[in-house]
Chains A and B, each alone.
Chain A
Amino acid sequence: MNKYIYYPGCSMEGSARAYAESLSQVAKILDMELATVRDWNCCGATEYLSINLIPAYSLIARNLAIAAGQVNGTNELMAPCSACYLNLEKADYYMAERPALGEKVNEALAAGGLHYKPGSLQIRHLVDVLVNDIGLDVIKSKVVRPLTGLRIAPYLGCMVPRPDYQHRWSDHEYPLELDDLMHVLGAEVIDFPLKTDCCGGHMSQIAPETAYELIRRLVSEADEYQADLMVTVCPMCQMNLDAYQGEANRFFGTKYQMPIVFFTQLMALAFGIDAKSAGFGLELVSAKKALARIGVEAPAPEPASPRRKPDGLPMPPHRRKKYASGREASDEKIAVAE
């Protein structure tokens, strides 16, 4: 059994539920034990680092300190989200490279009764763990439904192969690990030239037009290669390419319909798991047509029944007033779309 301490990250409980569900299926079949970091907190994504350095690193390091103190017979900390992975890795690496940072962060952690000695953990991304620990042979041996005939664009994005402080990847800009993994599932893997290009990151929130262009580039390239779908390894990439594909289409007057799914969803399918348990049906650009190519029926969409608290959405306590009216308007608009 391969044991890992597991840092899920916020998206796994929300927008990336398909990733979480398919991962738990895949982990079971591959005999991986994942012990979640107790009471883990958000890693700060790419936002806290822009605000204030020591709090940003202390936020990340709280997770490292808890994980390192958690006995699971391993010091390997695995994250499925690229941004979480990089933040955890960055904190561990820089606290060692710059002892002054390590000292300051530990001074802050001490206020919560914690301490982290850099280097205590090995920080790993899920793809790295699957390819390098579990191994392609073992993965291949579990395939009962080869994805024969499915054309896949493997998309890794930025933050997993770069900056790669521990030199774990075959290449920083053109690594083939994800290609190989999809290949052993029996899929037809296209040699996707933009495999480590940027999905736009938080630009979809703050400078949408910049993000649309980056999204367009990726989606149109996959389309040109006649991919049936694109696989991602990161909740932020999946969100940008899936949820904002429609907006990008409207912006450019294009009509792309490229399904964007997590690589673990295809692993689960190949391992014989049904489409619903593999998290299909949650994507906004439907993967139905792609699944039909391998004779898999897509699950019916879930009935929509969002329940709202009558007094509106809870917000962080400060600034509540300033945003109060906006909050109601937000509810209203979403309700109109019903």
Chain B
Amino acid sequence: MAQTKTASLTKGAGFKKQEDLTLLNEVSSATAGVSHLEMCIQCGTCGGSCPSAADMDHTPRALFAMLRAGMRDEVLHSNTPWMCVSCYHCVVRCPQEVHIADVMYTLKSMAIKAHQYKDNTAPDFSQTFVDNIEAFGRSYELGLAGRFYLQHQPLRLPGMAGMGWGMLSSRRMNILPSRIEQIDQLKAILTKAKTLELTS
């Protein structure tokens, strides 16, 4: 399974091997900015700088090696992008200026599109947040917490209620969401945006 895409021989070049970089290129071109993903030298600085590394299935370095090896399923199933907290420690330390955190975002969206993730907690959270924005133009903190906790962590609610109550009583959570005036304009923009993809 893991070995489906390995190196293939170039035409006529007896000893030279050419890697199949389809997956690497696909991820790189779907990432905002110039990802520099193909420049990764496997130095491991990223994993060594990462506060979430201990909870990750693969270090960022290992994940990028897997991308180069074309291991699509394994990469999309890895929890690594989902454990990334976007702290950018690795990004400022990477000697090759790989946009590591942005690559993590790309891998998350690819996993969502392919429905390949082990745990739907994080994807559902992101989707819930985005649903709020698409409906109101603003995010809605209380709705977010309420919807989210009930679906995934119902047992946390009693403890959380204290926090929710503290937030409410100090008026730090809005009861009503605010809606932007030009919500139709925003919807038109997002509808159009959803038909577009970054491929080249």
Judge whether A206 is part of the interface by a CB distance below 8 angstroms: yes
By the criterion CB–CB under 8 Å, are A159 and B86 in contact?
Answer: yes
Enumerate A36-53 residues with CB–CB distance to B below 8 Å: 39-42, 44-53
Docked complex: A307-338 residues within 8 A CB-CB of B:
307-309, 313-319, 323, 326-327, 329-330, 333-334, 336-338
- Smallest CB separation, B95 vs chain A (Å): 14
Q: Which of A47, A108, A201, A284 contacts B166 (CB 8 A)?
A: A284
Which residue of the partner chain A has the closest CB to B148? A205
Q: Which residue of B lies closest to A109 (CB)?
A: B189
> In this complex, what residue of B is CB-closest to A326?
B150
Is the Cβ of A39 less than 8 Å from the Cβ of B180?
yes
Contact indicator per residue, chain A 17-58, by CB within 8 Å of chain B (1) or not (0): 100000000000000000000011110111111111111011
Bitwise, B173-200 to A at CB < 8 A (1) or not (0) is 1111110111001101111111011101
CB contact under 8 A between A53 and B32, given known A44-B133, A334-B168:
yes
- When the two chains form their complex, are residues B172 and A17 in contact, meaning their CB atoms are under 8 A apart? yes
| B196 and A284 contacting across the interface, CB-CB below 8 Å | no
Distance of A244 Cα from B141 Cα, bound (Å): 15
Report the nearest A residue to B192, measured CB to CB: A111
Set B139, B165, B175, B194: member contacting A309, Cβ < 8 A: B175
Asked whether B162 lies within 8 Å of A51 as measured between CB atoms, the reply is no
Contact B198 A52 (CB under 8 A): no
Interface size on A (CB < 8 Å)? 97
| Residue A130 CB within 8 A of the other chain | no
Instruction: Name which of B6-14, B38-46, B68-76, B120-128 contacts chain A.
Output: B120-128
Is B5 an interface position by the 8 A CB rule? no
CB distance from A38 to the nearest CB of B (A): 9
Interchain Cβ contacts within 8 Å, total number: 274
- Give the residues from 61 to 101 in chain B that come closer than 8 angstroms, CB to CB, to chain A: 83, 85-89, 91-92, 101
Known: A52-B109, A54-B198, A90-B32. A250 touches B159 (CB 8 A): yes
Q: Does the CB pair A336–B146 fall under 8 Å?
A: no
Judging by beta carbons under 8 Å apart, are B135 and A317 in contact? yes
- Distance of A333 Cα from B142 Cα, bound (Å): 13
Q: Is the CB of A201 within 8 A of B51?
A: no
| Contacting pair B105 A316 (CB below 8 A) | no
Partner of B175, one of A90, A244, A306: A306
When chains A and B are docked, how far (Å) is the Cα of A333 from the Cα of B145? 13
Q: Is B20 an interface residue (CB 8 A)?
A: no
- Given A39-B182, A336-B161, A107:B196 Cβ within 8 A: yes
Interface membership of A71, Cβ < 8 A: no
Cβ–Cβ contact A48 & B129, under 8 A: yes
Residues of A close to B51: CB separation below 8 A: 197-198, 214
Taking the complex as formed, is A215 at the interface, i.e. its CB lies under 8 A from any CB of chain B? no
What are some 16 contacts across the A-B interface (CB < 8 A)? A14-B141, A14-B173, A15-B167, A44-B130, A58-B192, A58-B193, A104-B193, A114-B189, A162-B87, A205-B145, A301-B169, A313-B146, A316-B132, A327-B147, A329-B157, A337-B162
Q: A41-B138, A51-B127 are in contact. List 16 more A-B contacts (CB 8 A).
A: A17-B172, A58-B190, A104-B198, A108-B190, A109-B189, A110-B192, A163-B92, A282-B171, A304-B168, A306-B171, A306-B175, A316-B131, A323-B147, A326-B147, A330-B149, A334-B164
A interface with B by C-beta (< 8 Å): 10-11, 13-17, 39-42, 44-55, 57-59, 62, 90, 93-94, 97-98, 100-101, 104-105, 107-114, 158-159, 162-164, 172-173, 197-198, 200-203, 205-208, 210, 214, 243-244, 246-247, 250, 281-284, 301-302, 304-309, 313-319, 323, 326-327, 329-330, 333-334, 336-338
A-B residue pairs, 10 tightest by C-beta: A304-B169, A326-B150, A162-B88, A316-B135, A108-B193, A111-B192, A330-B146, A50-B108, A94-B33, A47-B129
The interface of chain B, by Cβ under 8 A from chain A, is: 30-34, 51-52, 55, 83, 85-89, 91-92, 101-102, 105-106, 108-109, 112, 121-123, 125-127, 129-139, 141-153, 156-178, 180-182, 185-186, 188-194, 196-198, 200
